[in-house]
Amino acid sequence: MASFSKYKTTEGEFWMIRITLTDPVTREKRKTSRRGFKKLSEAKLAAKQLEAQEARLGKNMKSHYFYKDIFLEFEEEYSKHLKPSTIYRKSVDFKKWILPTFGNKRLKDITKRDCQKYIDFMSTQLKSYKPLVIQARNVFDFAVRNDYIESSPFNNTVYPKTTIFEEDEKLEKFWNKEQSLYFLEKLKETDTLKRYALFRTLLLTGMRKGELLALQESDLHDKTHTISITKTLFYDEDGNFQLLKPKTSSSVRDIHLDPETFEILKNLIRQNKKLRLMSGEKLKYNFIFIKETSFEPFRNSYVNEVLNKLCKRFDLPRITVHGLRHSCASLLFAAGVDIKVVQKLLGHAHIETTMNIYTHVTTETIEKTTDLLIDYLNEPTKKSSGSHMGVTELKKQKNHPN
């Protein structure tokens, strides 16, 4: 509440305001005054403006908070709706790519220019940088929804039209038939049963990495020669593993195995049982793909690390474990498998995912399609009002005119 009083100076009579305001950061009350108003009405108008400003700052008082503090509130809210593995992955992304830029800045001090600089920088660091930009933006949107700030500094920012990654594709995304067969052949000849079983299963079933590492001996079925996908493996930041539900309900599925893959997995299970008998360990879970020292499942990063070394050893284009899944889908399409079957095998919830990601056509398929077209055009046709000749005959006539 403001109070008003008149005072005199050598220059005449003036009005003064005495008012108590709240500091937006400390929330402490502080008394202040304003002088020099010629009329009471001017003093009252100024007091109203001060009170309005105080109300606005009070409403948006958390604009003085650091971005990292608002992020913690945001994290607490969104984590209620996500799986632990997703929460962990997003937390890692924030710590590595977002908090170093924004963490120690107050919300009110972060400008549109700061955000545009961040977008431009990220476009030079990662090919898939947009999801990280969206994560950073989401914290500001959370602050707007909660009236901490009036608008997001990410508003009206733009993504670069081109990035360095669009001109420099160094990483092959999948292998063709010859590369896949060569990989399996060399792996079988030169490496362990466990690694051969692991990568053969990944390549020929299209499993996700977490799905494969979560496999237990009871998931392999002798009568049907199938393997059940009912869970996925996740390691938290403390190094403890958890078995979680798969990515979607469509990810729960049974995959039929070819005879060789089935027998290899059976041999690996026999090998694991011998190791357990020798150690005398009684375990809660009997995983198929285990560390021989602890009988715990491998970490997710282990599989990509080994695959990277094998690509170098066998002089093959470097791909990730997801690239093996991609390779499996591409080989299935090249073999003529229906897209709905591929969708079910890979555990996609939506057919659009299968179509968008896995409709690469191999060179072999293109060549076969072209040959089929030529064969069709060269087939004799029924006589009609016009003379119809195949492509080969047309070419001959062109080269040897009458």
Q: How many residues does the chain have?
A: 402
Q: Which of 311, 315, 317 is nearest to 175 (CA)?
A: 317
**Residue 291 shares a structural domain with residue 206:** yes
**Residue 261 shares a structural domain with residue 379:** no
**Residue 17 shares a structural domain with residue 94:** no
**Residue 330 shares a structural domain with residue 367:** no
Q: Could you state, in chain order, the average pLDDT of each consecutive group of 10 residues for the chain (402 residues)?
A: 90 92 72 92 91 71 87 89 81 93 94 95 87 94 90 93 54 80 96 96 94 95 95 83 84 94 96 88 87 85 93 94 89 85 86 64 53 70 48 47 50
289 vs 274: CA distance, rounded Å: 14
Specify the pLDDT at position 103: 95
- The CATH number assigned to the domain holding 234 equals 1.10.443.10
For the chain, counts of helices (H) and of strands (E): 16, 8
What interhelical angle do 259-279 and 193-205 show, nearest 10?
140
The answer to whether 234 touches 244, Cβ cutoff 8 Å, is: yes
68 vs 267: CA distance, rounded Å: 51
256 vs 345: CA distance, rounded Å: 9
What are the strands of the beta sheet with 220-221, ordered from one edge?
220-221, 226-229, 253-256
In a domain, 176, yes or no: no
In a domain, 124, yes or no: yes
- The CATH number assigned to the domain holding 135 equals 1.10.150.130
In a domain, 228, yes or no: yes
388 vs 40: CA distance, rounded Å: 102
Q: Which of 322, 269, 261 is nearest to 295 (CA)?
A: 269
Domain end, chosen from 133, 166, 199, is at 166
The answer to whether 256 touches 224, Cβ cutoff 8 Å, is: yes
Compute how many other C-beta atoms are within 10 angstroms of the C-beta atom of residue 233.
Answer: 23
- 3-class secondary-structure state, position 318: coil
Specify the pLDDT at position 331: 87
143 vs 69: CA distance, rounded Å: 11
In a domain, 27, yes or no: yes
**Residue 257 shares a structural domain with residue 241:** yes
Q: Which of 125, 152, 122 is nearest to 139 (CA)?
A: 152
Specify the pLDDT at position 167: 42
**Residue 153 shares a structural domain with residue 285:** no
The structural domain count of the chain equals 4
**Residue 399 shares a structural domain with residue 271:** no
**Residue 190 shares a structural domain with residue 328:** yes
Q: What contacts 19, CB < 8 A, 6 or more positions away?
A: 1, 2, 3, 31, 32, 33, 34, 47, 50, 51
The answer to whether 314 touches 304, Cβ cutoff 8 Å, is: no
Name the residue range of residue 201's domain. 186-358
Specify the pLDDT at position 98: 96
Specify the pLDDT at position 18: 93
**Residue 217 shares a structural domain with residue 350:** yes
**Residue 307 shares a structural domain with residue 398:** no
**Residue 116 shares a structural domain with residue 237:** no
In a domain, 179, yes or no: no
- 3-class secondary-structure state, position 337: coil
Place of tokens 């059940």: 228
The answer to whether 158 touches 112, Cβ cutoff 8 Å, is: no
The answer to whether 313 touches 189, Cβ cutoff 8 Å, is: no
In a domain, 99, yes or no: yes
Specify the pLDDT at position 379: 74
In a domain, 136, yes or no: yes
What angle (nearest 5°) sits at the alpha carbon of residue 125, between those of residues 121 and 127? 115
Domain end, chosen from 21, 43, 59, is at 59
What angle (nearest 5°) sits at the alpha carbon of residue 320, between those of residues 352 and 292? 120
In a domain, 370, yes or no: yes
**Residue 232 shares a structural domain with residue 354:** yes
Look up residue 62 and give its amino acid: K
Look up residue 153 and give its amino acid: P
